[in-house]
Structure 1
Amino acid sequence: MVTGGAGFIGSSFSREVKKPVIFDLLTYAGRLENLIGVDHIFVKGDIRNYSQLEDTVKKYDIKIIVNFSAETHVDRSINNAHIFLDTNVYGVVNLLEICRRYDTRLVQISTDEVYGEQENATEDFPLRPSSPYSASKASADMFILAYVRTYGVDAIIIRPSNNYGPRQHIEKLIPKTIVRTLLGLEIPIYGKGDQERDWIYVEDTAKVIAQLVETGKKGEIYNVPGGQRTTNIKLVEMIGELMGREPKIKFVKDRPGHDKKYSMVSTKLSYKVTPLKEGLSKTIKWYLENEWWWRPLLNDEYFLRETSW
């Protein structure tokens, strides 16, 4: 079962497995359009609702749950932390209780942001989250490790770096830059744009997760960095260059607690990644060819606003 399987990374992963049961609430970030072409069983449900989870696991005799369900946008977490606590923590505890009761394996999709601003963080680094979003993901990770230790739950944690690619909501930096450049709109950049992120193409992440679903060892944490770090301003300029357009950059007040750098390494995995320019070219091409997909999202508050503060 893929919880959050109608979202960005979840729908990409769902293309890597055979007829998954997709359990998704279809919030603003989850869309049935993301599942076109995917052979699946769909259940509209909320991981915060234990009985819905239990009914689905029993009905389809689920043996593995891969959890992508999460509130993920940092800006939204700063404006309202409560829903991040409800979904990213309480929801994961529900999943853990289900896995404990029905002997089901949990694969939790976490994030490099739980490490905060640390250089070359390995899987055993301390967690130093900076935002309500990353704090909620770190808390979920801690609950998972506790359930492995206390109850013997079969669970693993996967921490990818920043993902990009087709079907990512236009509130996020890369699709926001592409779409706003297409529309001739300014692109708001926090501070000086010198924040550094590590990027990985979403299909690469999906393949690594699909492998770890079967091979990951109980109680282990796996970092999945892209190994392609660049600053936000350089990234936006690169997108403009690939599009053959000059992006209209507008520097805005930085957001509170903004991490300047995410730097993570993997000590347990070896895998191939798509070069950043190649992945960006594929992503741009997808947004150019799928205007029908992003047009309905143009009125989203976090696409329209210049800054949250």
Structure 2
Amino acid sequence: MTQETGFKNARILVAGGAGFVGSNLVHMLLAEDPKQIIVVDNLLSSDEVNVPSDKRVKFVVGSVTDTQVLANLPDDLDYAFNLVCYHGNQSSIANPMADHDNNLLPALTLFDRLKDIKTLRRVVYAAAACAVAEKTYDDPSPTTEEQPVSLVHDSPYSISKLVGELYGNYFHIRHGLPIVKARFSNVYGPREILGAGRWRGTAHTVWRNVTPTFVWKSLNGESLPLDNGGNTSRDFIFVEDMARGLMACALRGEAGGVYNLATGRETTILELANAINAATGNKSPLDLKPARDWDRSGKRFASTEKARTQLGFEAKVSIQEGINRTVEWTRQNTAVIQTCMDQHRKQLSQLG
């Protein structure tokens, strides 16, 4: 089965499909000529503008924790992607209960429903590399899929993602759920809309991941804030590569298996900031700040050997190309982004 034909005439569920990664996946899946894509999203941290207008797409506004939404899912799904999450480490720190309700609970309820659908070829779960990566500021080694898991975590988000994997393992062993766990590295690219969704209690409702925040500020001539002087590093993967990796997990991933979806390359936040400023022409000096009090994540990048050998997946888009494309998308979608940001202006002003 090849990636070009594996989804042809398939019925596919994408939970969280109005979000940043989910919507890119939906657009890419449509090119494979599926029978139907069912997008379920409660728009907590996403926007319906991301959902393509296509007769093959059925958009359900709701949560997979809703018993009626679950009951209405068809019993002949071929593939399911669970990309639901409560967006962001710092939002989860501000409200651990909301993280539980919108990150961990959706995984449990959806797995429990999907276990009864016998036509499923694969269920792909969006896991998180940050939940297993070593916390270090020394020279990091690539995080493998066999990395020992610590019971000490610095955010409820990380905990929820890890427990989601554990539930996936349980449903695979107990009920034969054909789950594949895809451990995300730091994804960036088009359709990540600053301020998308409802207010979630902190400024990070608007100022989401580092790349879209830096791109927006850079395009507006602002200084880019570098926590810990930008010494932290991440493995940045372009969203279209991530979507291809998710599809490879569905088509070639071993049921019960886990795979890193990453580039295998380490980029410091300082390097990222300089690359973004070069792409936008921003001349404002960098704003060097101390480390965040909760964040001990340090430097990290992922091993890509298993994904390459077993899935045939390798990231194709370089960090410079990805930044250039993200900057251009942001320029073209300024009005949509500004509208989403503006809806939270009052709450942001109250935070000072």
Aligned length: 304
Q: Which moved more, 1:156-165 or 1:31-40?
A: 31-40
Q: How does 1:83-102 map to 2 (within 5 A)?
A: 83-102=98-117
Mark the CA change 1:226 to 1:181 in structure 2 (over 3 Å): closer, same or farther.
same
- Which 10-residue stretch deviates more, 183-192 or 45-54? 183-192
Matched, 1:52 2:69: yes
Paired residue for 1:13?
25
Alpha-carbon distance, 1:203 to partner: 0.3
Q: Indicate the residue corresponding to 2:340 in structure 1.
A: 297
How well do the aligned residues superpose, as a CA RMSD in angstroms? 2.3
- Deviation of residue 228 (structure 1)? 2.8
TM-score in terms of structure 2 length: 0.80
1:293 shift after superposition: 2.2
Residue 120, structure 1, aligned to residue 142, structure 2:
yes
In the alignment, does 2:237 pair up with 1:189?
A: no
Q: Using the alignment, how far apart are the partners of 1:82 and 1:57 within structure 2?
A: 30
Q: Aligned partner of 1:233: which letter? A: L
- Report sequence identity in percent: 24
Matches within 5 A, 1:201-212: 201-212=238-249
- The separation in 2 between residues aligned to 1:159 and 1:99, in whole angstroms, is 20
TM-score, scaled to structure 1: 0.91
Counterparts of 1:233 and 1:263, CA distance in 2: 16
| Equivalent residue number for residue 158 of structure 1 | 182
Map residues 1-309 of structure 1 onto 2, 5 A cutoff. 1-17=13-29, 18=34, 19-27=36-44, 29-36=45-52, 39-58=56-75, 61-103=76-118, 104=120, 105-117=122-134, 119-128=141-150, 129-170=153-194, 171-255=208-292, 256-270=294-308, 271-299=314-342
The verdict on how the C-alpha distance between 1:300 and 1:122 changes in structure 2, with shifts beyond 3 A counting, is: farther
CA distance 1:273–1:305, shift in 2 (3 Å): farther
CA deviations on 1:39-88 (whole Å, 9 max, x unpaired) are: 51111120222331122234xx3232101111131111111111111222
The 3 A distance-change label for structure 1 pair 68 and 247 is farther
Question: Which range moved further: 181-190 or 273-282?
Answer: 181-190
Alpha-carbon shift at residue 301 of structure 1 (Å): 5.9
Work out whether residues 27 and 52 of structure 2, in 8 Å CA contact, stay in contact via their aligned partners in 1. no
Q: Is the 8 A contact 2:133 2:143 kept in 1?
A: no
Deviates more, 1:34-43 or 1:169-178: 34-43
SS at match of 1:95: helix
**CA deviation after TM superposition for structure 1 residue 247, in Å:** 4.0
CA contact (8 A) 1:196 1:231 kept: yes
Unaligned runs of 5+ in 1: none
Secondary structure at 2:73 match in 1: helix
SS at match of 2:254: coil
Alignment-mate amino acid for residue 93 of structure 1 = L
Tell me the distance in 1 between the aligned counterparts of 2:232 and 2:210: 12
What is aligned with 2:3?
A: none
| 1:116 Cα offset (Å) | 3.0
Displacement after TM superposition at 1:248 (Å): 4.4
Judge conservation of contact 2:134–2:143 (CA < 8 Å) in 1: no
Q: CA deviation at 1:160?
A: 2.2
Distance in 2 (alpha carbons) for counterparts of 1:301 and 1:137:
27
The Cα shift of 1:168 comes to 1.0
Is the CA contact 2:84–2:103 (under 8 Å) kept in the aligned structure 1? yes
Answer yes or no: is the 8 Å Cα contact 2:192–2:212 preserved in 1: yes
Counterpart Cα distance in 2 of 1:226 and 1:300: 35
**Counterpart-to-counterpart distance in 2, 1:266 and 1:272:** 9
Aligned equivalents of 1:257 and 1:181: distance in 2? 24
| Counterpart secondary structure, 2:187 | strand
Rounded Cα–Cα distance in structure 2 between residues aligned with 1:125 and 1:264: 10
Q: Following the alignment from structure 2 to structure 1, what is the Cα–Cα distance between the partners of residues 148 and 171?
A: 19
Give the residue type in structure 2 aligned to 1:95.
L
CA distance in 1 between partners of 2:343 and 2:59 (Å): 25
Bigger mean CA deviation after superposition, 36-45 or 16-25: 36-45
